[in-house]
Amino acid sequence: MGGPMAGHVLSGGFDLVVWNRTPGKTEPLARRRADISSDLETVGRECHQVFLCVTRTEDVRECLETLTRSARPGTLFVDHSTISPTAAREIHDDLERRGFAFVDAPITGGSMGAQKGALTIFCGGDEHDVRAAMPVLKTYSHRAERVGGPGAGQMMKMANQIAVGGALLGLCEALSFADKAGLDLALTRELVGSGAAGSWAFENYGPRILERDWSPGFSVDNQRKDFGYVLEAARSIDAAVPATALADQLLARLSAEGRGSDATVALFDAMRRMGFLE
């Protein structure tokens, strides 16, 4: 995700310093004359706005701990990772006390959205901080909105992941049923997907099911990581999320089989092997 996003920042005319935990991933950006840094402290020292796109809450905290050793007061940190909403609020408050600014800005749209510069970004934080980040955000998004104060961006991402999980569950359940019923899967996907049941999942994941393509995209383990944050947030506000809990349980089966790196659409394969109400 981060590579294409950074490419759009360069195309937008911004000076860019890049760091990645896997140095080889920065080579395409180096060829476009981005400044490649060998360490995070240099990024903190040289940049007045720093954009993060990592995996977990712990990764964000670790990166920020290093970045803030050298960052100047007033530096704005924008986090595109999907992390715990509670942690996002804690990070905001901690950085604010230390003279920095923080916006939680998780993204949705997948790798294709990143490549096209068409992501949707949910921004949580103080209005002036979101406004300051917006020129860069607009280079790789088709819509970026402030949805509330600190942590609200992550809460909106939780709502997004609830909907994503439900759509994935519906798609895999419908097509596994159709498969066991002896129906033509391609025709099922075409007809059902063109009616009231149609969704982004039918349009984008349906072809992968037909091709039995479980190659890495958004992985089972990453989806379960996000669902963990959803369940944590739901408990904190006493919200019912039964479909998310079920989708997480079913994906856990795949993970237990050693298929955590498969794309989430492999849930179809797991459901085909299940019996009634199993």
Q: Which of 206, 203, 211, 223 is nearest to 263 (CA)?
A: 223
Helix (H) or strand (E) holding 93: helix 85-97
Q: Please, what's the b/e burial string for 203-218 (b: 16 or more CB within 10 A of its CB; e: otherwise)?
A: eebbebbeeeebeebb
CA distance 105 to 125: 9
Positions annotated as catalytic residues are 157
Q: CA 233, 79, 124: angle at the middle one, nearest 5?
A: 55
CA distance 102 to 51: 10
Side-chain-side CA neighbours of residue 231 (13 Å): 15
Helix (H, G, I), strand (E, B) or coil at 249: helix
Alpha helices in 20-77 (DSSP H): 27-31, 40-46, 57-70
CA distance 250 to 244: 10
